[in-house]
Structures are given as structure tokens and as C-alpha cells.
Amino acid sequence: MHMSEGPTGRELTPREPGSEIAPREAAPLGVERFAAGERAHRVELTEERAAQIVRQSGNARSIAFLAALFVVLFIPLYWFYDIGVPALGITGDLANQGQEQYVRDVSRGYALYLANCSRCHGVNGEGGMGAPLNNQDALYNVVTKKGQVGTGHLNADYIKAVLQNGGRLVCGQADSLMPIWAQPVGALNYRQIEEIVAFLNASKDTTWNYVPPRPEGAEGPKPTPVQVQGWRDPNYKPAPGATPYPACWRDADGPSIGGPNTGGGGGGTGRVDNPGTPESPRVIKVKLTGTLQITDEAGAKLESITVMRGETLRFEVENTAGFVHNFFIGTAEQLQAGDKTNTKGIEDFTEGTKELVWTVDSDGPLQYACIVPGHYGPMNGDFQILP
């Protein structure tokens, strides 16, 4: 009797007669003993399903190809959209946005200039108590062809230095009337200074719309926007052999303004050759135009008039516009406010020529202007009053 390794439980259960287990066939060589049924390994596809799978696969490859093609084409197209094609003179979006921002800076600088600088330098930069800022010799080469800071007299670096240090840098005068404008001493922050510089260096090719501020408490229609342009002529070149603009503006020779009892306007630090008297006033002919300008008899914009304290002038003011203009003399504050009580002038008229006799009884600063609502901004100029 052989001893088994241990009970399995089978020997304890009696086998029923006729329940003998048929012997299992031996599995062929190379076939796994345990295998799934045949149906578990069969994948049955209909022709329609197979065609659908092929179509989906083809569509996926087409979509991937189109996506790759889009990326390949989009990148260079967007690049050209951004930078343009300089060789063909086509500007891109970046350049256009930069130009729009530049014009905004210039327009803000113009408003700041009118509010802070025009009293001494003139509304149109013609000068007065301060240096003229629209002089083409002073503005020549302030900006290079590549848009960098040039070597001209009124270049950006020079203007910033003057605004940061005051007028003592201009002619070496410690008692200069021009204060320091930059913060923390002055009223202008660095961004406002950059905007003023942008305006002072802007060329005549740069234009923008300016809306004159409505005087406080004034009634009537909203001031009409006027188009303004920069002062610098990009095509200007000094005469051959001309000396550079002097470091101190007082060393520059101004034009002779006025003749024998006739005279016109002009800018700079001019002189009066023949002052008017009560018996023989000096005549200044002025035109008020439909383009909202004050011009001289020849049609040139009258940006300033040089007068002598105590002389008598007779203004012959012609309205060529076909609508209402007037002509008043006073301080900038009075004229901006439309004050007709404390100023001297010609009331509203629509056509013809009106006269105004005026004796210069102040050292200034004084202006002349049309103060019809909305007209002051483009229609004013400064008196340069000589002692």
C-alpha cells in the first residue's frame, strides 16, 4: 500500500455507477491546453463598415494635412501683415499702430504746449518773451531720416534738458524767466515731457484734429475741431554757407517788421523801423479767412506781430469768410474766455473791412484773436512787444 501525499477529498466521495469520466484526449503538440473559443477571436466586418473605416481614416489624414498647410501658410502671411513689405513701400500693422500712437503723442503734446508754453513762446511757436520754436534753422536736422535724435538745435535731448533744468541752459542766464518744468520741481511728468518733445519735433507731414477747450461757463455749440500740423519742414535746407543756429536764441537776427507806417506780421525777434503815432498810426492789414486763419494782406498766416510799447496802430481787418468773425486784443486768458468787456476789439461782422485803432499800453504778454466760439484755437497770434 502506497501512502499518498495527502487527502484530496475525492476518495471520500463515492462514485455513482455509470458516471465514469471519459478519458480526455491529449492535446496536439504545439497547441495550448487552455484556449478561448473560436468566436472570441473572430472579427466580422461588413463591407459597409470596412468602407466607413477607410473613409474616416482618409478624412483624418486630409484634416491633418490641411491643418499643417494652414500653419505653414499662416506664419509667413501673419509675419508680412505685421511688418509689411518695406521694399514695396507696404507698411505693416506694427508700423501703422506705431504711427497712430505717435500722432496721439503729438496731439497731446500740442495741447500741453498751448496750456503751458504758448504764453511765452507764442501759440504758433513764433516766440516773444521766450525763444521762437518754429524757426526752421533751429528745427533743421533735429530728427534723422531713421527717426533718431539729430544734431539740430531743438533736438529732443536739448528740449528735455531745458525742461528739466530751466531756461538757464539756453543763454546761461541764472535769472531766466523760464522755470524748471519737470517733476518733482515742475508740473510735468516724464510722459508729458516726451509728448511735448514729440510735438515740437513733429514735421508738417504730421496732422491731427484739435478740439479747442470750451471756456468755463461758456454757452453755445461745442467748439469745432480744427486740423493742425507740425512746424518742422522736412524738406528745409539752410542756404549754402549759412552759419548754424546759435546756441543762444538772442544772438539770432530777426526780420525787419514794418515799413513807413505800414507793417505786417512775422515771427522771431524782429524790430519796428517806423513806430506809429496817434497822428500817423502804423497800418496793419489783417484778413479773417474761411479756413479759420488770420493772415496778412498777402495771404500768409499771421503768427505774430512785433510792436513797440507806446506806438499807435491801425488794424484794417477784412472778413473774407462769408460767416461771422471778430477781432480782439487782450491776454490769452481773456481771449480764451471770450471776454469782450476787458479787451479791445471789433465786434462780430460777416463781411467787409472794419478798423481798430490801438495804442500799445502794456508790456504784455498780449494776443490778438477771433473769439467767436470755437475760433480761438486756430485764430490767434502773439504780440512781440519791444521796449
339-362 pLDDT per residue, tens: 999 999 999 999 999 999 999 988
- Residue 322 clears pLDDT 80, i.e. is over it: yes
pLDDT band of residue 18 (cuts 50, 70, 90) is low
96 phi and psi, to 5 degrees?
-65, -40
Contact in structure between 108 and 195 (CB atoms under 8 Å): yes
The span from the CA of 113 to the CA of 199, in Å, is: 8
* Mean pLDDT taken over the chain: 80
26-84 pLDDT per residue, tens: 555 555 555 555 555 555 667 777 777 767 776 777 787 777 777 776 676 666 565 65
pLDDT: which is higher, 25 or 142: 142
pLDDT: which is higher, 167 or 232: 232
The C-alpha cell at 110 is 500740442
Percent share of the chain, pLDDT over 90: 39
| Confidence at residue 268, expressed as pLDDT on a 0 to 100 scale | 35
Host H or E run for residue 293? none
68-84 pLDDT per residue, tens: 777 776 676 666 565 65
The secondary structure of 197-266 as a DSSP string is HHHHT-BTT-EEEE-PPPPTT--SSPPPPEEEE-SB-TT--PPTTPPPPPSSGGGSPPPEE--SSEE---
CATH number 2.60.40.420 given to 254-386: yes
- Residue 130 clears pLDDT 60, i.e. is over it: yes
pLDDT: which is higher, 364 or 196: 196
- The H-assigned helical ranges of 122-204 are 136-139, 156-165, 168-171, 190-200
Contact in structure between 306 and 289 (CB atoms under 8 Å): no
The span from the CA of 360 to the CA of 313, in Å, is: 8
| Confidence at residue 47, expressed as pLDDT on a 0 to 100 scale | 72
pTM score: 0.48
The C-alpha cell at 222 is 461745442
Contact in structure between 259 and 297 (CB atoms under 8 Å): no
Contact in structure between 316 and 283 (CB atoms under 8 Å): yes
- Residue 174 clears pLDDT 70, i.e. is over it: yes
Torsion angle (degrees, nearest 10) of CA 189, 193, 194, 198: 150
Mean pLDDT of the region 244-272: 52
| CATH architecture, domain 95-213+224-229 | Orthogonal Bundle (1.10)
| Confidence at residue 311, expressed as pLDDT on a 0 to 100 scale | 92
The span from the CA of 212 to the CA of 285, in Å, is: 26
| Confidence at residue 1, expressed as pLDDT on a 0 to 100 scale | 47
| CB-based contacts of 2, cutoff 8 Å, min separation 6 | none
| Confidence at residue 266, expressed as pLDDT on a 0 to 100 scale | 37
Torsion angle (degrees, nearest 10) of CA 211, 213, 215, 219: 40
Q: Where are the domains of the chain?
A: 95-213+224-229, 254-386
| Confidence at residue 16, expressed as pLDDT on a 0 to 100 scale | 59
Percent share of the chain, pLDDT over 70: 75
Contact in structure between 304 and 182 (CB atoms under 8 Å): no
